[in-house]
Structure 1
Amino acid sequence: MSDVLDEGPFFHGTKADLHEGDLLTAGFRSNYRPDVVMNHIYFTALPDGAGLAAELAAGDGAPRVYVVEPTGPFEDDPNVTDKKFPGNPTRSYRSTAPLRVTGEVDDWTRQTPEALHEWRERLAALRADERGEIIN
């Protein structure tokens, strides 16, 4: 993991009901490959990117976007930077250290039902494709 990659602010999307000061940690099942337990916690510097992740997250809760701060070193998310977006234009990161919740964002862009349906279809196709592995 390198020195500071991005100054933030940073965001994490989820359906969990969290509060300021809560810690988000690795060790939970992937929203994109439920058979994989993740070794990292993921976040982004783009609130709408976190919003998409929140809307695609497992669970029945409302999608939420939290402002978070890394408590340790972090790196570019290789699942998007190495596979699809060299240079990290999505400003997506991951860490083995927890993220601390510092607030919540209400003004992120929601996906249309049609767009969410398309995203879910793409994710289902990735799950069916052996090459769609997560770099964990």
Structure 2
Amino acid sequence: MRAALLILLGLVIGVIGTAQVMSTLAARNPMPKAVMHTMSYHTSELKQAMKSQACDAAKIQPHLLRLQSTATDIVPTFGIADQGFADAANKLQASLQQAVASAPASCAALAAALKPVGEACQDCHQKYR
């Protein structure tokens, strides 16, 4: 009986210790998650504008600019020393630069501008997520 209680106590302490370690490891660098959340927010705002057919250039341009700005933080934030990752991030930045330069003023133009951006995101997420 005593041995069973000691084994059970050891398991409980092990589970609590593991949970604490996992929590600490997950909280050590929130920046990569923040960058992805910021990009997701601006992308969803642009998609919502297309869905509601409210693709006014003055409304969508700030979201495109924030996406372009945030995309420059990907490589230094994630710290992945892989040339493929850097190339994927550069592809995304180039796609966003073209989207901003095209200054889409209609939903069709915005959809066309965002297509290469979405493809660049998808390619990177398939390899590195």
Q: Same fold (TM over 0.5)?
A: no
Instruction: Name whichever structure is richer in helix by fraction.
Output: 2
Q: Mark the structure with the bigger radius of gyration.
A: 2
Higher relative contact order (CA closer than 8 Å, sequence separation 6+): 1
TM-score, reference length from structure 2: 0.25
TM-score, reference length from structure 1: 0.24
